[in-house]
Amino acid sequence: MKIKFWGVRGSIPSPGPATVKYGGNTTCIEVRTDSGELIILDAGTGIFPLSQSLFSEFPLVANIFNTHTHWDHIQGLPFFIPLFVPGSRVKIHGATDPVSKKGISEILSAQLQHQFFPIREAELKADIEYFSLEEGEKVTVGDAVVTPVTMNHPVVNFGYRIDCNGKSLFFTGDHEPLCNSYMQEKSEEHARCRESSARKNRAIMGAISGVDVLIADTSYTPEEYMQKIGWGHGTFDTSIQMAKEAKAKSLYCTHHEPTRSDNALEAVFAEALSRNTRHAGDAECFLAYEGLEIEL
């Protein structure tokens, strides 16, 4: 299995001289199974340069797994070139919104409304299929199995575990550590929230357990997080701790804060490593950058 990062920023693209090293595109990760099947995790602006690398494979079959529908994870989708190529098949997977009850098929129809985009969905040439998934519903893609897991974010966000011939990765999408929002510790609400959070955390850690590669939302420092509780993002420290608890072999930090320069990113990462001593068996930690390739 091969992994390549095409977008590692969060919230908004951040191109410019200060972000050249790690890149300014928003979330998009290419995964190739051992049999060559194409899996794409999220369709941030990084999906456009990814699609430019695929010309030799047209027409192709692409399997897109969307973590959630916030802009920075879908804004590149209308520019995914295979959508315009006759004979291509694009399979888009994601969650159903529990409030509106709308499935993942809304993702393109909403983006391609005429007031927002000059090309209508009906004008796309590829065969487009939509699959609204339930948590734990396994999807077979060639010789790989993809399993969605509900994470903690202001909208439904699926993390995805991919298993392929004994190797595995887990991508959190956007994820904030679970906490109890009820302050009165002896209240029934506090007890219910504590039980619910513990149950959800066990499910998440069970899904991550033992993966070769954990790709995690590490947007903030601990100090920044205190001003942004409830925004749905993790810190370097919480992700390092998650990797340790799950006994992941490696951790790749992503969803970099868009206002952080490359130099500042390296500085806060070094500080996080110094606060979290690595012991034998702990995950090796890396900063994800555009163009980074991993082979398992």
217-241 per-position pLDDT tens digit: 999 999 999 999 989 999 999 999 9
The domain ranges of the chain are 2-295
Distance CA 251, CA 228 (A): 23
Identify the pLDDT of residue 182. Answer: 47
Please tell me the CATH superfamily of domain 2-295, with its number: Ribonuclease Z/Hydroxyacylglutathione hydrolase-like (3.60.15.10)
Residues 6 or more apart whose CB falls under 8 angstroms from that of 127 comprise 87, 88, 89, 90
Per-position b or e across 121-142, b if 16+ CB within 10 A of its CB: beebebebebbbbeeeeebebb
Give pTM, 2 decimals.
0.94
Contact 22, 290 (CB under 8 A): yes
Task: Provide the CA 238 distance to its chain's centre, in angstroms.
Answer: 16
The band of 198, judged by pLDDT with boundaries at 50, 70 and 90, is: confident
Is residue 287 over pLDDT 90?
A: yes
The CA-based angle 174-38-295, given to 5 degrees, is: 80
241-252 per-position pLDDT tens digit: 999 999 999 999
Is residue 183 over pLDDT 60?
A: no
168-180 per-position pLDDT tens digit: 999 999 999 876 4
Identify the pLDDT of residue 192. Answer: 66
46-76 per-position pLDDT tens digit: 999 999 999 999 999 999 999 999 999 999 9
More confident residue, 121 or 295: 295
Distance CA 104, CA 157 (A): 12
